[in-house]
């Protein structure tokens, strides 16, 4: 135990001055700002969450800024999504053999950190990025234009989008989103309404466990690796609970994989342990 504390303390000394994290607005401030948001927001969108991330939007694309861990996370989540699409027969391993267009919806896309690499997986991918925060969508559009990428970014809730685009997508991605949602089953139901039968849904999130609370919230926030106030333990969800929700919504979970951030190497790594961070791939049944 003593050695573990020494290691943790030494890591903190090493990283805390190297990575400075912006502290997000406090709860009272969030509530005041949330009152000024449009009332059209769906019930699964927490207005406080929209305000929460506005405070760091100017540094969204900085690979050394408050979203640096999200940028680095692409090294584990993009391969997981690609492999799942290939295994499901949606995408070919050799892009030159891909003949069918693949419609992908990135729900809660933010400024497009994941949308952009997903759009590059195949010349046949048609990607739509969706977010309820108009500031994020504008940022994503501007960055995609700078990169010469053809991505359709839309300001909308998933519920409103589902009412107009039911059964339109081959793939739904909701990465680091559901831990910010209050009514999770309603959110998942709306996502799945957009998905074609036999389509795939990919999710990445944080498990609800004591270990996740210590590592992903207490430790990472105090080390300055993520902005303080980003996550709340009450909103997190275990792989088992998420899998059961998807099962109740007519989906089969095909794969679950854990991943963790190595403080010594500054890289994300995959693991069989899903007690902290995990990816999940499920397929929507025909009936």
Q: How many domains does the chain have?
A: 1
pTM equals 0.83
Q: Is 180 annotated as a binding residue?
A: yes
Residue 116 counted as an annotated binding residue? no
Query: Which of the 8 DSSP states describes residue 166?
Result: T
pLDDT tens digit string along 29-42? Answer: 333 333 333 334 44
pLDDT-derived band at 145, boundaries 50, 70, 90: very high
Place of tokens 């290691």: 7
- Asked if 25 and 52 touch (Cβ cutoff 8 Å), the reply is yes
Mean of pLDDT over the chain: 84
- Identify the CATH number of the domain in which residue 275 sits: 3.40.50.150
- Nearest alpha carbon to residue 244 among 280, 275, 209, 272: 280
Asked whether residue 258 is marked as a ligand-binding residue, the answer is: no
How far is residue 203's CA from residue 110's CA, in Å, rounded to a whole number?
15
pLDDT category of residue 6 using cuts at 50, 70 and 90: very low
Decide: helix, strand or coil at residue 29. helix
Does 49 have pLDDT greater than 60? no
The annotation status of 108 as a binding-site residue, yes or no, is: yes
Query: How many beta carbons lie within 10 A of that of residue 219, not counting itself?
Result: 16
Q: Domain containing 42: what range?
A: 2-284
């Amino acid at each position: 135990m003593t050695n573990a504390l020494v290691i943790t303390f030494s890591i903190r000394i090493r990283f805390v001055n190297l990575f400075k994290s912006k502290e997000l607005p406090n709860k009272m401030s969030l509530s005041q700002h949330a009152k000024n948001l449009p009332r059209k927001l769906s019930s699964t969108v927490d207005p406080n969450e929209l305000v929460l991330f506005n405070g760091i939007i100017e540094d969204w694309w900085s690979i050394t800024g408050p979203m640096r861990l999200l940028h680095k996370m692409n090294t584990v989540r993009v391969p997981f999504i690609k492999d799942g699409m290939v295994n499901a027969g949606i995408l070919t391993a050799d892009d030159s053999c891909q003949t069918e267009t693949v419609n992908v919806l990135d729900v809660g896309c933010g400024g497009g950190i994941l949308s952009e690499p997903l759009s590059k997986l195949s010349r046949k991918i048609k990607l739509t990025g969706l977010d309820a925060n108009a500031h994020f969508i504008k940022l994503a559009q501007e960055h995609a234009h700078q990169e010469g990428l053809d991505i359709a970014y839309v300001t909308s809730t998933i519920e409103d989008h589902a009412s107009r685009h039911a059964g339109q997508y081959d793939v739904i991605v909701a990465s680091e989103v559901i831990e910010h949602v209050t009514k999770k089953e309603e959110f998942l139901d709306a996502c799945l309404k957009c998905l074609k039968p036999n389509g795939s849904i990919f999710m990445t999130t944080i498990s609800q466990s004591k270990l996740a609370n210590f590592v992903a919230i207490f430790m990472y926030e105090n080390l300055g690796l993520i902005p303080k106030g980003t996550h709340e333990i009450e909103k997190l969800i275990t792989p088992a609970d998420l899998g059961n929700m998807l099962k109740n919504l007519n989906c089969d979970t095909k794969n679950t994989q854990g991943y963790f951030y190595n403080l010594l190497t500054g890289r994300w790594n995959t693991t069989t342990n899903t007690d902290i961070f995990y990816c999940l791939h499920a397929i929507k049944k025909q009936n």
